[in-house]
Structure 1
């Protein structure tokens, strides 16, 4: 990729691509607001193993994340979720599309899920359109400089979205109590492990996806 510095070429080259890549993990809402970005992790990375170092779920594990409660198909859930493609793991916080849907319900779900998932691609497309420095070659940049440029452009992008009045999300800026695990404390550590296990619960993942399939089919079957 032309944006990868030559000095880092080998470190950032993935076997399945054959050329250097620097991964940007991002979460965007339908208003194109980028609410999470994680850029520049070295090594052979993909959408799966980048999660091992990503801070995406740190707030959830530290009890700093906003409370999310909703009911779908008569089932109550207590955590938000992210739309992802099929390569992502079956975590309770991911809703993946079906790889080979056959029945009409799953086909309808895939259409809606994939259409909504395009928001993050649209957001990155707008980001590139606004800032030519992201589109241009960056082979001579140091890694730290690449990261600073990317995060700066994302911040400016969000400021523009908010200033233009296009932002539809409500963000809570109030400080929250931080979770501090005391050294040698089994209570806090056990609670941390419990929350981590809930995040990776594949049973909840399948139940949530099933409920969303039924909900979309019942509310949108005439579309």
Structure 2
């Protein structure tokens, strides 16, 4: 985390919770801990997964004060930065993701979907579900399902498709191998059901086309695995046994870590080796929006905002049926196999 990102977080949480973070004198008139000390104590506990008494010698803060710093800090981070860094993808965000997905061989690819486990005192586990893109930005996070549930159980509880079903998500019309589709998809592993929104790898590829598709699918799906790895490397409190027993506190800790992770990604992703500047797509967005008479290059998709009609139950059930359509799943997967083969062939390197 660069200095200016840290200082932005400090100023943000101070504005959000001035009563706690502003330095004040105690009963003897001696000035208490500064906002920099309090924020540093909280971030060190998140980054190293240490207990509250581990920052005593370094920051001269008592254990109880450090614990209060952590609780106030994560609450302020979620309240101050949550709307910006836990936001759902808008039409412009999806436009950039679609261009990146098309470049890597998967038209209308939303991103990767995966689950990971957060430990709690080595006895109970809590699952974190996340959606991440190639730049490691986490677009969706759902935390709180018991670890005894498998991926299917978590999917039934997850709100990942709520906006799609309710008509709030931006709609995209695209074509693969000459076939038109109107719903995005995630790259997943094999446990997920055969829905039109899930594209797994081929378990036992037999033909060269299937092998090339599986290779590219697994490479692109590793984006979410990398995002989990980087998140845990930056904030060790996620991978270590939890120090809190309250699930609400654990949720705030997880969300605060994801927010700061996205802030770091925003600050550093222009230094990534394969990073593509989003500004290069600005001139393309107006031509791929709804109502445009032309499209750019080989991109065959149109993005427009969804419209929520809460009273139309029939439309909700229709979207639900489309999302769970196994025939569309098979058709899209077969067309993607052909598309990947034509785009990359047997001798092209995986990007």
TM-score band w.r.t. shorter chain: 0.7 to 0.9
Report what 1:15 is aligned to.
Answer: none
Aligned to 2:155: 51
CA shift in 2, pair 1:191/1:104, >3 Å: same
Equivalence for 1:157: 261
Count of aligned pairs: 201
Alignment of 1:67-106 (within 5 A): 67-106=171-210
Residue 136 of structure 1 corresponds to which residue in structure 2?
Answer: 240
Q: Say if 2:244 and 2:250, in contact at 8 Å, map to a contact too.
A: no
1:106: Cα distance to partner?
0.7
Q: Shift of residue 139 of structure 1?
A: 5.0
Quick one: distance in 1 between partners of 2:136 and 2:269? 12
Return the offset for 1:74: 0.7
Residue 17 of structure 1 corresponds to none
Q: Secondary structure at the match of 2:131?
A: strand
CA distance in 2 between counterparts of 1:91 and 1:161 reads 31
Change (3 A) 1:162 1:179: farther
Correspondence for 2:49: none
Contact conserved, 2:201 with 2:218, CA < 8 A, in 1? yes
CA distance in 2, matches of 1:176, 1:155: 26
Q: How far, CA to CA, are the matches of 1:176 and 1:117 in structure 2?
A: 27
Change in 2 beyond 3 A, CA 1:22/1:78? same
User: Among residues 219, 223, 236, which one is paired with 1:119 in the alignment?
Assistant: 223
Q: Is the 8 A contact 1:3 1:139 kept in 2?
A: no
Tell me, yes or no, if structure 1 residue 203 matches structure 2 residue 327. yes
2:344 to 217, 220, 223: 220
CA contact (8 A) 2:196 2:322 kept: yes
More helix by share: 2
Who is 1:24 aligned against?
128
Deviations 1:15-50 (A, max 9, x none): xxxxx4321111101110100111111363111121
Residue 217 of structure 1 aligns to a residue in which SS? helix
Alpha-carbon contact 2:196-2:325 (below 8 Å) kept: yes
- Structure 1 gap ranges (5+): 10-19, 182-187
Pick closer, same or farther for the CA change 1:49–1:135 going to 2, 3 Å.
closer
Residue 316 of structure 2, aligned match among 192, 203, 214: 192
RMSD between superposed Cα atoms in Å: 2.1
Distance in 2 between residues matched to 1:62 and 1:147, nearest whole Å: 25
The separation in 2 between residues aligned to 1:214 and 1:23, in whole angstroms, is: 35
Which has the bigger relative contact order, CA under 8 A and spacing at least 6?
1
Gaps of 5+ in 2: 1-116, 282-304
**1:207 match: secondary structure:** helix
Pairwise CA distance, 1:122: 0.2
Distance 1:101 1:144, change over 3 A: same
Measure how far apart 1:99 and its partner are. Answer: 1.3
